[in-house]
């Protein structure tokens, strides 16, 4: 059963009299479990929909509509699938006490992997889930492999019953499912020969594995430092070498780069980022893989739309990691817009200075950085630092921050989103 949370005006749902609180029970006799069932089972032109109205009345509707016309309901969010692992590097273990409850949930959900590109380990799948992945062709999936060696993988996941990943992927691949994969590199565990073997086995698996990224493990002040550590510059350089070797094989064999390092890996290694061409579709840009090159490309593509900024002073608030790479983006942006950009790297006061990602910056730290800055025309804040409810990780709201600093603030994920409309003169 799925509960309706909103009915769009002038939609099929409003014509039928569905309303907030209506329970969607089945489509064509198939019980509904979540948004996946709803989307896939209602994709037909003709459907039989069984609902229970908030007053308890059950009704069946025969619906016939042009293909693609939505029914017009908002659905309650699916209950997130909990993770079956206990990785030493888990972000949840690295959280301080006192944050929003939802942040302490370890999610590992193949549905969100398909829908949003969240990485999942597939260690909590039941036969029913496997059947749905195949039936609904949930492809591509984003999979955290970490290591193909089952012993190493189980150790990393702290899950002695984790199924072997390669046979699991094989089963899905035989039904047409493809994968983007990642390896979170934990030094001394899955780097070196283990990394070489993992990259080789994933590549040799065949084209169903579309690519593999290597991301250095990231920790906060609160993480389990007695069990896991971040890689050194030398260890990152060694990983880049293995990635380059595998990428050369992939280019020769399949004409694609296939193996990638996260921007963070290059940053820690002190090695220049690869050129944009290697990332092809930027499939893992949300995972920090090719983000800087993607930004540069994006800005160049829409440069004509970024007018009206000549002489303006714009602050770019970001984490200390991105701040090191940001000049590569701000230089072209300056020449395109004629604005003056000031980079404001903000130290993470909630998780400690080792957490350098912009997306985890607390609102209070950014607020402090912008206090008294009347000289600025605009301040750009990292778009990924705010959730769907407009809250930063420390629960400060964007509205509160905006009203407490003397400069207009805008969220931005790629500059273009925030600079299309100039600030008022
Ligand atoms: S898979 Fe590991 S890192 Fe991800 S949520 Fe589970 S325990 Fe945390």
Query: From residue 274, how far is each of 240, 267, 384 by CA, in Å?
Result: 11, 11, 24
Q: How far is the CA of 252 from the centre of ligand 1 (A)?
A: 35
The per-residue pLDDT for 77 is: 87
Specify the ligand 1 atom closest to the Cα of 86. 7
pLDDT band, residue 44 (cuts 50/70/90): confident
Q: What is the pLDDT of residue 401?
A: 96
Q: Which protein residue's CA is at the shortest distance from atom 8 of ligand 1?
A: 90
Q: What would the pLDDT profile of 227-272 be if each residue is shown by its tens digit?
A: 999 999 999 999 999 999 999 999 999 999 999 999 999 999 999 9
Residue 267 contacts residue 326 (beta carbons within 8 Å): no
Cα(382) to centroid(ligand 1), Å? 24
| Res 263: pLDDT | 95
80-96 average pLDDT score: 92
Please tell me which residue, 94 or 167, carries the higher pLDDT value: 167
Average pLDDT, the chain: 94
Encoding tokens for residue 204?
């040799």
* Residue with tokens 């073997």, as numbered in its chain: 197
Residue, of 99 and 117, whose pLDDT is higher = 117
Given the CA of residue 157, which atom of ligand 1 is nearest to it? 2
Residues 180, 140 contacting (CB under 8 angstroms): yes
Which ligand 1 atom lies nearest to the CA of residue 89? 3
Q: Ligand 1 centre and the CA of 217: distance in Å?
A: 12
Measure 54 CA to ligand 1 centroid, in angstroms: 38
Which residue has the least CA distance to atom 4 on ligand 1?
A: 90
* Ligand 1 binding residues, C-beta < 6 A: 83, 85-87, 90, 92, 106, 108, 121
What is the 156 CA–ligand 1 centroid distance (Å)?
A: 10
The closest-lying atom of ligand 1 relative to the alpha carbon of residue 84 is 6
Q: What pTM, to 2 d.p., does this model score?
A: 0.90
∠ Cα 198 118 31 (to 5°)? 115
Both structure tokens of 124: 């909590």
Question: By the 8 A CB rule, do 80 and 105 touch?
Answer: yes
Q: Which atom of ligand 1 is closest in space to residue 184's alpha carbon?
A: 3
- Whole-number Å distance, alpha carbon 92 to ligand 1 midpoint, is 8
The number of residues in the chain equals 425
Task: Provide the pLDDT confidence category of residue 419 given band limits of 50, 70 and 90.
Answer: very high
pLDDT 10s digits, 273-312? 999 999 988 999 999 999 999 999 998 888 888 889 999 9
Residue of minimum CA distance from atom 2 in ligand 1:
87
User: What CA–CA distance (Å, rounded) separates 73 from 71?
Assistant: 6
Q: For residue 108, how far is its CA from the centre of ligand 1 (angstroms)?
A: 7
pLDDT digit string, tens, across residues 319-339: 888 888 899 999 999 999 999
8 A C-beta contact, residue 385 and residue 364 = no
Nearest CA to 382 out of 281, 305, 288 is that of: 288
Pocket of ligand 1, candidates 80, 81, 83: which has the most ligand atoms within 8 Å of its Cβ, to mutate? 83
* CA-121 nearest atom, ligand 1: 1
> pLDDT > 70: what percent of the chain?
100
Pair type for strands 23-27 and 46-52: antiparallel
Per-residue model confidence as pLDDT tens digits over 119-161: 999 999 999 999 999 999 999 999 999 999 999 999 999 999 9
Ligand 1 pocket: which of 84, 92, 153, 224 to mutate (most atoms within 8 A of CB): 92
Instruction: Report which protein residue has its CA nearest ligand 1's atom 1.
Output: 85
CB 169, CB 207: distance < 8 Å: no
Pocket test for ligand 1, best of 86, 108, 217 (most atoms within 8 A of CB): 108
Ligand 1 centroid to residue 107 C-alpha, Å? 7
If you measure from the C-alpha of residue 416 to the centroid of ligand 1, how many angstroms do you get, rounded to a whole number? Answer: 33
Mean pLDDT calculated for residue range 52-73: 92
Residue 299 is encoded by which pair of tokens? Answer: 């800005």
CA of 103 to the centre of ligand 1 (A): 13
Mean pLDDT is lowest, of 10-24, 28-42, 227-241, 345-359, for 345-359
């Amino acid at each position: 059963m799925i509960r309706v949370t909103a009915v769009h005006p002038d939609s099929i749902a409003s014509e039928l009299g569905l309303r907030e609180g209506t329970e969607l029970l089945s489509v064509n006799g198939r019980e509904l479990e979540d948004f996946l069932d709803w989307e896939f089972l209602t994709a037909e032109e003709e459907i039989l929909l069984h609902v229970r109205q908030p007053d308890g009345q059950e009704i069946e509707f025969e619906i016939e509509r042009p293909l693609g016309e939505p029914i017009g309901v908002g659905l309650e969010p699916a209950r997130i699938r909990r993770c079956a692992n206990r990785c030493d590097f888990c972000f949840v273990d690295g959280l301080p006490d006192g944050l929003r409850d939802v942040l302490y949930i370890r999610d590992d959900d193949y549905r969100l992997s398909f829908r949003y590109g969240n990485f999942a380990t597939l260690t909590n799948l039941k036969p029913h889930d496997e059947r749905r992945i195949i039936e609904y062709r949930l492809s591509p999936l984003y999979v955290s492999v970490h290591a193909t060696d089952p012993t190493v993988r189980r150790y990393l996941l702290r899950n002695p019953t984790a199924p072997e990943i390669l046979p699991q992927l094989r089963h899905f691949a035989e039904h047409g499912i493809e994968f983007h994969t990642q390896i979170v590199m934990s030094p001394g565990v899955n780097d070196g020969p283990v990394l070489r073997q993992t990259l080789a086995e994933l590549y040799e698996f065949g084209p169903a594995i579309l690519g593999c990224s290597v991301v250095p493990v990231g920790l906060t002040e609160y993480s389990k430092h007695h069990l896991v550590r971040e890689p050194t510059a030398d260890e990152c350089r060694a990983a880049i070498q293995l990635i380059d070797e595998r990428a050369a094989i992939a280019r020769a064999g399949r004409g694609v780069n296939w193996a990638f390092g996260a921007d963070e890996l290059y940053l820690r290694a002190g090695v220049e980022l690869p050129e944009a061409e290697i990332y092809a579709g930027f499939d893992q840009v949300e995972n920090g893989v090719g983000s800087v090159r993607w930004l540069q490309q994006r800005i160049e593509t829409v440069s004509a739309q970024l007018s009206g900024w000549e002489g303006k002073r714009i602050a770019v608030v970001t984490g200390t990691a991105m701040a090191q790479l940001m000049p590569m983006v701000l230089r072209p942006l300056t020449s395109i817009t004629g604005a003056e950009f000031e980079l404001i790297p903000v130290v993470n006061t909630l998780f400690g200075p080792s957490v350098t990602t912009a997306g985890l910056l607390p609102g209070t730290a950014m607020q402090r950085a912008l206090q008294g800055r009347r000289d600025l025309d605009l301040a750009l804040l990292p778009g990924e630092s705010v959730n769907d409810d407009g809250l930063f990780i420390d629960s400060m709201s964007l509205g509160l921050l905006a009203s407490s600093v003397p400069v207009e603030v805008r969220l931005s994920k790629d500059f273009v989103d925030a600079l299309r409309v100039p600030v008022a003169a």
